[in-house]
Structure 1
Amino acid sequence: MMIIRYIHPQDVNDLYTLAEKAGFGLTSLQPNMEKLAARIQRACDTVAGKLDKVDQVYLFVLEDTELKKVVGVCGIEVALGLKEPWYNFHVGTQVHASEPLNVYKSLPTLYLSNNHTNCSELCTLFLDPDYRLNKNGKFLSKVRFLFLSAFRQYFEETIVAEMRGYSDENGHSPFWNAVGHKFFNIEFTKADYLSGVGQKVFIAELMPRHPLYVDMLPDDARAVIGMVHPNTMPAYNLLIGEGLRYKGYIDIFDGGATLQADIENLRAMKESQIFTVHIESAENINFQDEPFIIANDRYENYRAILVYNQPKKNTLELSTEQAEQLHIQDGDQIRLLTVNIQGKQ
């Protein structure tokens, strides 16, 4: 069975394996054992209530319970930019006009911005390629929305998600070559790594503070502003379906889109439902074609599974095995969210 739970310190070796498979582009998951162990501890201390908001992060893992192996990870940072600045570019507009000369030009610009300070962030989503089947990817990504709906009080007003920008098969980023590389004589993959191990602020502080005119950039760099990497497009579409939108903010390194939404407007906030559990023999349970994510809503020991069980009014029948995985008993309540959005698969 596949189950999602909080990350534990003993997961560090499996997390390191996932980081090696992730490659460049996922800055929050780098194969550095010390950094990974520290981030796991930060997540554990968050759940234990030991950290101030500035340091809080929630990390969840997808575990193959038969192999006792972690095969995916996802996270939520509680509040960005409260300890060190959180940078991105805002795609804005600057107008140049002269009535005597009959000239009017509206020019797109890039402004270095800290506008997402004190926002929560969806982060660190990665699934082992061998497990990208059976709705595992949607399960791993969307469980964060179910968690947000259950524990809304722990998060900020706005949620954001940085999407990986375009780079070619050799790891070359047209946007980095046209902008960042002019101020740092290093390759994009090196800058990406430094960002992932905590040196993003140092790099960002040396980026240009004045607006950059987009029209002065090379064609290939202009073309990728707000784009996402082809491998990231499924994740992009998934987040759009859950209520996030592109509002003109991009990553300072690769130009990838940053999506955002008011948490209150997320689909899970409106559509997740509470059901009472009735434990039944597996052979007596009715199943359906569409899957649900269900979670136990227990903050100290959060667990979620993917099921195809058919709900009955306000009751959901679960097998003994399913109930045991969620650490719940007959009569307990669970929170439910459909995996597929109506009309979409």
Structure 2
Amino acid sequence: MMVIRPVARSDRNAITELATQTGVGFTSLQNDESQLNDRIERMCRTWAQQAPLAEQGYLFVLEDSETGKVVGISGIEAAIGLNEPWYNYRVGTLVHASKALDVYTQMPTLFLSNDHTGYSELCTLFLDPAYRHGKNGHLLSKSRLLFIATFQDRFADKLIAEMRGVSDQHGHSPFWESLGRHFFAIDFAHADYLTGTGQKSFIAELMPKHPLYVDFLSDEARAVIAQVHPSTVPARKILESEGMRYEGYVDIFDAGPTLEAYVDDLRVVRKSQARIVKVTQTEISGPIHCLIGNESFTDYRAITGTPQVTESHVLLTSMQAQALRVTDGDSVRLAPLFAQENFS
């Protein structure tokens, strides 16, 4: 069984191994042991309720309960941009017009922005390629939304997710080559590494503050604005199925799109419901796939399954109850795993 749980200090080696597989452009999971250790410690302080809001973050791991192997990771930042500026580009329009010359042109532009300051962020979604099948990706991504639904007071009213932009296997980013390289004599891979180790604001402060005309960029750069890396397409589709949308903001380095939504508008949040656990020795399957999470903040667990759900109870097998660390009479929160499914 695949189980979502909070990160632990003992997961350092497993997460380091996952970080070696991400490639250039996966900013929030760098192959840097010191940075990973610091982040895990910050997450542990959050769960111990010892971190101020500006430092609060959550990392979850996906564990194969049969082998104990950690095969995926996903995260949430509670409030971005409170310690240092959070930068992205807002894609806008400037109009140039002259009645005397009978000229009217609309020019797409990029404005350096801090508009998402204070929002919560979905981040650090990565699944071992060997486990990219079945419902593993859905569990890894959507369990964060169920956690937010369960502990909504710990998060902002609005949520964003920065999607990885287009770059090739050699770390070449068309957007960076056409824009960022003019201001920094470094490769995109180095800029990405600096960003992942907490130096994004330093780099962004050296970027031009005035609007940039998109038409001045290369054809290749213009073509990738708001496009995602091929390996990120499934993650984008999952978040869009939950109600997140591109609203005109892109990353300042690779132009990957930022998806956003009000938390109350997210499908999992709207459709999630609490039920009382009844443990059964025989599995009684229901008609829909469910995302199921316990209601323990410090010992959170989430799984998928097809349990029988009544108006007041959910029937779980002893194995499911053990995975969720619940017993008869405990309360859990569950939601349909897929958008096309609903509780009757």
- TM-score (ref. length: structure 1): 0.96
Q: Secondary structure at the residue paired with 2:196?
A: helix
How far apart, in 2, do the equivalents of 1:134 and 1:215 lie? 42
Deviations 1:250-285 (A, max 9, x none): 000001100111111111221011111111113xx2
CA contact (8 A) 2:110 2:213 kept: yes
2:289 to 278, 288, 291: 291
In structure 2, the partner of 1:276 is 276
How far apart, in 2, do the equivalents of 1:338 and 1:170 lie? 40
Deviations 1:2-39 (A, max 9, x none): 11111001100000000011122211111111111111
2:140 alignment partner AA: L
How far apart, in 2, do the equivalents of 1:82 and 1:36 lie? 21
Q: Secondary structure at the residue paired with 1:306?
A: strand
In structure 1, the partner of 2:102 is 102
Shift of 1:170: 2.5
Q: Secondary structure at the residue paired with 2:104?
A: strand
In structure 1, the partner of 2:235 is 235
Q: Secondary structure at the residue paired with 1:226?
A: coil
Deviations 1:90-139 (A, max 9, x none): 00111111111111111110011111111110000001111111210010
In structure 1, the partner of 2:172 is 172
2:314 alignment partner AA: L
In structure 2, the partner of 1:221 is 221
In structure 1, the partner of 2:208 is 208
Deviations 1:134-163 (A, max 9, x none): 210010000011011111100112100000
CA contact (8 A) 2:286 2:309 kept: no
Tell me the C-alpha RMSD between the 2 structures. 1.3
Unaligned residue ranges in structure 2 (runs of 5+) = none
In structure 1, the partner of 2:315 is 317
How far apart, in 2, do the equivalents of 1:289 and 1:317 lie? 13
Q: Secondary structure at the residue paired with 1:300?
A: coil
In structure 2, the partner of 1:329 is 327
Matches within 5 A, 1:255-270: 255-270=255-270
In structure 2, the partner of 1:341 is 339
How far apart, in 1, do the equivalents of 2:53 and 2:41 lie? 15
Shift of 1:171: 2.1
More displaced 10-residue stretch of structure 1: 300-309 or 241-250: 300-309
2:316 alignment partner AA: L
Q: Secondary structure at the residue paired with 1:35?
A: helix
2:61 alignment partner AA: V
In structure 2, the partner of 1:251 is 251
How far apart, in 1, do the equivalents of 2:227 and 2:303 lie? 33
Shift of 1:332: 1.2
How far apart, in 1, do the equivalents of 2:235 and 2:150 lie? 22
Q: Secondary structure at the residue paired with 2:298?
A: helix
In structure 1, the partner of 2:47 is 47
1:201 alignment partner AA: S
2:58 alignment partner AA: Y
1:172 alignment partner AA: H
Shift of 1:309: 1.8
| Paired-residue identity, % | 51
Q: Secondary structure at the residue paired with 2:62?
A: strand
In structure 1, the partner of 2:121 is 121
In structure 2, the partner of 1:307 is 305
Pairing 1:66–2:50 present: no
Matches within 5 A, 1:80-159: 80-159=80-159
Q: Secondary structure at the residue paired with 1:22?
A: coil
How many positions carry a matched residue from both structures? 342
Q: Secondary structure at the residue paired with 2:90?
A: strand
How far apart, in 2, do the equivalents of 1:191 and 1:340 lie? 37
Shift of 1:312: 2.8
In structure 2, the partner of 1:185 is 185
How far apart, in 1, do the equivalents of 2:44 and 2:322 lie? 23
How far apart, in 1, do the equivalents of 2:274 and 2:189 lie? 45
Pairing 1:162–2:168 present: no
Shift of 1:343: 6.9
- TM-score (ref. length: structure 2): 0.97
How far apart, in 1, do the equivalents of 2:341 and 2:207 lie? 44
How far apart, in 2, do the equivalents of 1:31 and 1:290 lie? 39
